[in-house]
Amino acid sequence: MTVQNLDAECAKLGATLGTNGTKDTENSITKTLGVLEEQGVYALFLYLHAREKEWGKSTSCEFAKFLRQHSLLGSSTKDEPFGALQELATDLDKLLFARDLLYRALVYARYHAKAAQKGTPEKTT
């Protein structure tokens, strides 16, 4: 059995999500974090599909792929993960673990977006 560092996996996902570093990306990530905190995992996916256009759909796909890689989300018959999310909701431990992982990835994504937006500081000599 291979042991994975899930914090590092969340950091990689966060870097992927926050790469373009625009103010819009940072705002979208912040809104998405709020939905996850207040409403939960299922609402997060609904919000991403309904409100965040292309970024939201690609983020939703990334999240579904991430959760499947870590055996938290089963496969769905459609491209959309909503059936699999309903199944995830039947196991409270997995649901809370998935929420925590997505939250951590979004926090990292927000920091990546903010850092990319500001640029890297120049070296002083």
Contact 42, 86 (CB under 8 A): yes
Helix (H, G, I), strand (E, B) or coil at 35: helix
Q: What is the mean pLDDT of residues 107-115?
A: 93
Q: How far apart are CA 98 and CA 74, in angstroms?
A: 12
pLDDT at 120: 52
- Structure pTM? 0.86
Residue 118 has pLDDT above 80, yes or no: no
pLDDT at 125: 42
Contact 117, 19 (CB under 8 A): no
Q: What is the mean pLDDT of residues 6-21?
A: 90
pLDDT band at 3 (very low <50, low <70, confident <90, very high): low
